[in-house]
Structures are given as structure tokens and as C-alpha cells.
A and B are shown apart, each in its own frame.
Chain A
Amino acid sequence: MSLFCLIPAAIRSGALAALVLAWLVWPTNTYSSEQQTAILLVAHPAVTTSWLNRDTTRAIFAMRQRTWPDGESVQVFVLPNRDPVHARFTKEQLAAYPHQLQLAWDRMVFSGMGQAPNRVSNQLDMREKVANTPGALGYLEREYIDESVHVISME
């Protein structure tokens, strides 16, 4: 009987030690982004809002806020999770990682607190959808921006 009690204790302390070790030893890479073009927030041309602060932008992209500050319904557009532009946008502008944002959407969608964003397959598609959907909000690299969309400045 005493032997049975000892084994789990040993495993337990071993597991805790491993946990601490994993935390301390394993490298945590941060990827330095090279010189890349800026990613800007873009909206449907009829949207009256001209700037958003970062927290509001995060709340809208996390699907927790459903309207523009003036009360108009917002339609969120995003690129696929694995698109490098999406990854850069979430990290640089939203201070989140794509997997965290996906988790935030799942938590909204499967708890009745919100809806999922609209997906677009690439930046050309993004520009077309944002330009043609009232209340649309998305993001584009500077070189994809033209007069069909309205650039929103971020605080």
C-alpha cells in the first residue's frame, strides 16, 4: 500500500519539476519582421468614422463590439488565419496572435455572445468586399489601397 502512495508522489514532483524546466529552458522565439509595408485599416467609403483607438479596434475585430462609434452596424472582414498579412495585422495592430483571435471568435460564436467575422481569401478580395459592403471594416497593405476604400487611422 505504501508503495502505491509513493509512486504518484514521485510522478507528481517530477511533473512539476518538468513544468518549471519547460518554462525556463525552452526557447521562445520572437520573429523579427523584416522591412515590410504598413498594414492599414480600411472601411466602406460611406463609413463616417475616421479614426479608431486600439482597444476599440480590438473589440471590433474580436467581435465583441458590433457597431461603429456612430451606431452604424460594422461588418468585419479578415484574411485566413495562416495568411502572413493576417498574422502581422493581429500582432502589430491588435497585440494578439492569430490563434488567440480565433479562440476569441469561437468563444463568442459558441456562447451566444457574438458572430464570426467574414472571411476573404486574399487582399484583392478584401478590397472588393470592403468597398462594396456597407459598414465594412478590414485591413490592407498600403500597396493594395485605392480610392474604392476609406482608410481609418488608428490612434
Chain B
Amino acid sequence: MSFQWSEGVSLARMRTALAWLGLLVFSPFAPAWANDSVFDTLQVHGFLSQALVITDDNNFFGKSSENAGSLEYTEVGLNASLRPHANILVAAQLLSRRAGGDTRDAIPTLDYGVVDYQVVSNQQRTLGLQLGRFKNPFGLYNQTRDMAFTRPSILLPQSIYFDRTRSLGMAGDGASLYHEERTQAGVVRFQAGVGKARVEDDVDLALGLNRFPGTLQAGSSAIGQVRFEDNNGRFLMALSTASANADYEGSQPPLDNGSFQFQPWVFSLQYNHERWSLTSEYALRTVELDGFNPAIDQKKTGESWYLQYTRRVDSDWQWLLRFDRLINDRNDRSGSTYEQSGLGPAHSQFADDITVGVQWTPRPNLMVAGEYHHVDGTGWLPLDSDANASAKSRHWNMLLFQLSVRF
């Protein structure tokens, strides 16, 4: 009687139509598709989330502080995958996401598109290679951060999973290697990737470079994660690091063609029980601007951490309590030096967020969530190109509701 989400589109007609779509996308593999069994491995999955964001002060994802709030937080994803050979997986996902900002932001983009080859696969280990646009394994949530069903709350802890320089952390275009080794104590998983970082307009804006005529060109990026899970599946530990680079081109005085480097580290811990989980992540983020001009060049290290308790009441209900802290510059925790330098208000340099949330999943393919944030600071408030930082309120509250479906 219950709806089987993984069989949601096993309708023959849909399958045929999508197979043709897949054939266009993955045409290099077409010769291997001579037999029907390859088509039998085709899977199509998707999701849709719509949120309502209400704030008392400050705008988050649209004009949330006006009237009845903002509906400008929408996520839609559609993916297809198939296995043309026993150890090869081909997968791609289109993502449309609007989080405030222009409606053009909702134009679907390629979220990932990979050919995955498992070179070694036995009782002791799995070793594989991904080529294409792969999702960065960063912290516990980054790889599927836009899919509501994989998040413990509507908004991930913003100190680490903030939106400002989102494009940098999302995915890389290149190659990624993964290795799972099974040991006496537990499973060790390792993943490393190199490629070209994705640098979009959000990075320009976050760095305050959008007012100049030049553009940031994506440079190389590298990412690595080591993860350990104990034999009982209770304890999980991960260390992730990344390095993303970009070069500035087309500058005009007073700016020179500088470079930008972003290097974050995240340490993650999670303890899982049948009824509850305790999760914490700690991150250090180094941002360096070099070669622009003495007024803009800088190197600073930000610090983020959160502690989160989630509790499953029954198979349908789950609630969450979280404290999340962001500091933009470890050498100026209160932001006072920043304010004295005339760069903007001190509260734009930090944010403490206390979150209480609840998720209701009456069916495997439907989720309704609600949460309340009490925030001190505007450190991760999304930037608008026309925003005036001093006009923002230091203390603000936010209420979110979200409806999500998937198949």
C-alpha cells in the first residue's frame, strides 16, 4: 500500500523517454547499450522543496521581513543514472535552485555529471575513480546539501554550509578517487579530487569585487576527505580539506590582476543511537587575496563550529536542537577592529545561531519541516549587491517552513 519512492517512475513510457534523453547525454556509451539489460539499470530520481521564510529584521532568501515572508527558497533536482557495465556507473543531476536573488538563478544547472569506475571491489576494499563534475565530499552534508531529505534541518548550520561562496564548495570539474578499506576496528574511507573550481558571481560579491569591472576566473581546486566509521555503525569521524583558487582578470586601476585562494578544514564527529544523534563539526577557513592592491589584499582565517542534537520521536517525527557559531576573523572575534577600520558594522563579522527544529515525514516521499532561529550577528546573512551592511539588525529571529517531496 505504501508508496515505493524508488519505483516512482518505473512506468515504461517514462523510462523510454528518459532512456532517449540519457542516450543524448551519454552518447559516448551508446555502443555498450545494445542489450536491454543496460536499460533495466536506468534509475531516475528527483526532489522538490518549497520554503516559507519569515524574519523580524533582515532579509534572508528574499524579502522575508516584509508582509507574510518570502517564498523565494525553492530547490528542484532531477537525476538519472545507469550501469552500462558491472563496475561502471554513469550519473548526472540537474539542479534548479532559487534562494532569494534573481529569478534567473532558478535556471537549471548541471549539479554533477560523472562516469564512475570501480577498479577494485572485493571483500577487503573498494577503489573507484570518478571523472567529470563530481560533488565535493566536504564535512558531513556538503555532497547532498540541496536535497532536503538528507538534511537534519531546513537550513544546514550556516557557519559551515553558508551560501555566500557556495559555488566554490559545491563541485569540481576533474577527477576524483575514492577508496574504502575494511579493517578490524571499522571502515576507513578516503576520497580525493582535483579539478577546476566552480567560481560564480557569489564569490565576486562575497569578496567585494563585484563593484570592479574584472572577473574571477576559476583556477585549480583540490579536495580530500578521510572518514572513519566504527564496526557498530555508531561512531563516525571525518577530516576534510580543500583548496580553491581563482585569478582575477580584466582589472582596471586601482586594482591589479590579483589572485584569490580559499582553504577550509573541517573536522566532523557524529555519534548515532537508535533514537538520537549527536553531531559536531569544527572548521577553519583561510581566505587570501593577493596582488590586487594593498588596501584589498588580505589573509584571514575564520572559525566555525556547531553542536547538534537530533532526536527521533518515532518513525515519522524528529526534532533538533543546535547551537552554531561563525567568526569571520579569528584575530578580530568581536568585529571591533573591522568596524574601527570603517569597513562596516562589527556584527557583520560573526553570528551565533540557536536553532530548534522539527521534521515530520508521514510518507517516505513527503516531508514537512519547521524551525526557529534566534541569531546574534549577521556574519552569514546572504549579501545583496545593493545591500547596506549597517542597515542590518544585529539581533534577529527567523521562522522557516518547508514542504519537500521526492521520488
Contact = CB atoms under 8 A, between A and B. Distances in A.
Do A and B associate with each other? yes
A5 B330 CA distance: 21
Contacts of A46: none
A28 B83 CA distance: 41
Given A8-B376, A69-B122, A113 B354 contact: no
B364 A115 contact: no
A98 to B, nearest CB: 8
A69 B273 CA distance: 31
Given A115-B41, A115-B43, A22 B311 contact: yes
A9 to B, nearest CB: 9
B180 interface: yes
B311 A107 contact: no
B345 to A, nearest CB: 14
B272 A100 contact: yes
A15 interface: yes
- Residue with the greatest number of chain B CB neighbours at <10 A, chosen from A73, A80, A110, A119: A110
Interface string A99-120: 1101100110111111111110
Interface stretch (B11-19, B86-94, B98-106): B86-94
Q: Which of B41, B121, B180 has the most CB of A within 10 A?
A: B121
Main secondary structure of the interface of B (DSSP, over half): strand
B27 interface: no
Interface in A40-56: 52-56
A124 interface: no
Interface stretch (B155-163, B199-207, B257-265, B274-282): B274-282
Contacts of A66: 83, 86-87, 89, 118, 121
B151 to A, nearest CB: 10
B315 A112 contact: no
Contact of B45 (A7, A82, A99, A110): A110
B93 to A, nearest CB: 6
Interface in A5-20: 7-8, 11-12, 15-16, 18-19
A112 B112 contact: yes
B231 to A, nearest CB: 7
Contacts of A128: none
Contacts of A19: 307, 309, 321, 323
Interface stretch (B2-10, B65-73, B283-291, B292-300): B2-10
Interface residues of B, number: 63
B395 interface: yes
Contacts of A88: none
Interface stretch (B141-149, B216-224, B237-245, B336-344): B141-149
A110 B147 contact: yes
A77 to B, nearest CB: 11
B2 A80 contact: yes
A96 interface: yes
In this complex, the member of A29, A107, A109 whose beta carbon has the largest number of chain B beta carbons within 10 angstroms is: A109
* Centre residue among B92, B149, B356 by max chain A CB count within 10 A: B149
Contacts of B323: 12, 15-16, 19
Contacts of A52: 123
A12 B307 CA distance: 12
B114 interface: yes
B121 A65 contact: yes
A81 interface: yes
Interface in B96-149: 112-114, 116, 118, 121-123, 126, 130, 134-135, 143-144, 147, 149
Contact of B81 (A55, A67, A102, A112): A112
A22 B309 contact: yes
B312 interface: yes
A30 interface: yes
Contacts of A145: none
B4 A95 contact: no
B276 A28 contact: yes
Contact of A73 (B81, B86, B232, B312): B86
A113 B195 CA distance: 17
B173 interface: no
Given A22-B311, A112-B92, 4 more contacts: A19-B321, A55-B231, A110-B150, A111-B144
Interface of B: 2, 4, 6-7, 41, 43, 45, 47, 77, 79, 81, 83, 86-87, 89, 91-93, 112-114, 116, 118, 121-123, 126, 130, 134-135, 143-144, 147, 149-150, 178, 180, 182, 187, 231-233, 272-276, 278, 307, 309, 311-312, 315, 321, 323, 352, 354, 356, 364, 374, 376, 394-395
15 contacts: A7-B395, A12-B354, A15-B323, A23-B309, A26-B311, A55-B231, A66-B87, A71-B121, A82-B315, A110-B45, A110-B79, A111-B144, A112-B92, A115-B83, A119-B4
Those 3 A-B pairs whose CB atoms lie nearest each other, nearest first? A73-B86, A55-B182, A111-B143
Interface of A: 4, 7-8, 11-12, 15-16, 18-19, 22-23, 26, 28-30, 52-56, 58-59, 64-67, 69, 71-73, 80-82, 94-97, 99-100, 102-103, 106-107, 109-119, 121
